[in-house]
Structure 1
Amino acid sequence: MQRIRDAQTILGTLEDGELAKELSFQITDSLRQLKEQCGNRPKVKAKGKVTLTINLEVQDGSVTIDCEVAAKVPKPPRASTFLWVLEDGSLSTEHPKQMDMFGGPKPVASSAINA
């Protein structure tokens, strides 16, 4: 009678080895996605989770094992855009109450002092 007692052998046996392949794929794919989200930016973190659930049902001295592999990786962060909302509801990249420095010279009001 062969006895199986270590987790590595049990996992390799489940689903004719397909469970171990799926678990390996989910781990490496999650790591790839998390690394991609971090890019080459130092100190940026991305967290994920791979969960293996093993359901056991024992009856009459035998066991039925059903497994689930689930991966959770956060959505990649997206950049935000800051714009100004104008009176008519349109958007502008310029503050509506500041004058345009690059729009050219503005007319000078006539002065009461004559030179």
Structure 2
Amino acid sequence: MKKIRDAQTIIGMLEGGELAQALSGDITETLTKLKDLGEITGSKSTVKGKVVLTLDFEVKAGAVTVLAGIDTKVPKAPRGSSFYWITDDGSLSTEHPQQTDMFSGPRSAADRQ
């Protein structure tokens, strides 16, 4: 009777070796994303990620079924912000709605409200 007690061997055998390959790929992908985010946010900030391997065991009549799952967590890349003014009708404007444009020329007194 062949006994398997080593975690590395068990993980390597699961799903015909495909689980270990997928886990390695997810670790590499997570580290690459974290490296890229670290370069965006600067060298003084800490960027954290996570790769979680979950093994669920189902035992019935002396046999075991192993169900594996891999979850990864990487923070989203920071995005810039944009500033606009809100007009009375709910539109966005790059100009303050209560300030006049001094470069558009003189306005007649009839245009004032």
TM-score normalised per structure 2: 0.72
Q: 1:90 to 1:4 in 2, by over 3 A?
A: closer
Partner of 2:71: helix, strand, or coil?
strand
Partner of 1:50: helix, strand, or coil?
strand
Matched ranges for 1:64-103 at <5 A: 64-84=65-85, 90-92=92-94
Task: Pick the structure with more helix per residue.
Answer: 2
Q: 1:79 to 1:5 in 2, by over 3 A?
A: same
Deviation at 1:66, TM superposition (A): 0.8
Partner of 2:15: helix, strand, or coil?
helix
Partner of 2:13: helix, strand, or coil?
helix
Are 2:14 and 1:14 equivalent residues in the alignment?
yes
Deviation at 1:45, TM superposition (A): 2.1
**Identity in percent:** 45
* Structure 2 residue runs without a partner (length 5+): 104-113
Deviation at 1:62, TM superposition (A): 1.2
1:75 aligned partner, one-letter code: K
Are 2:53 and 1:62 equivalent residues in the alignment?
no
Partner of 1:55: helix, strand, or coil?
strand
Per the alignment, residue 24 of structure 2 pairs with 24
The alignment of Structure 1 onto Structure 2 pairs a total of residues equal to 101
TM-score normalised per structure 1: 0.71
* Structure 1 residue runs without a partner (length 5+): 104-115
Superposed CA RMSD: 2.6
Are 2:61 and 1:33 equivalent residues in the alignment?
no
**Higher-Rg member (1/2):** 1
Cα deviations by residue, 1:23-45 (Å, 9 ceiling, x for unpaired): 01111101111111111621122
1:91 aligned partner, one-letter code: S
Q: 1:93 to 1:7 in 2, by over 3 A?
A: farther
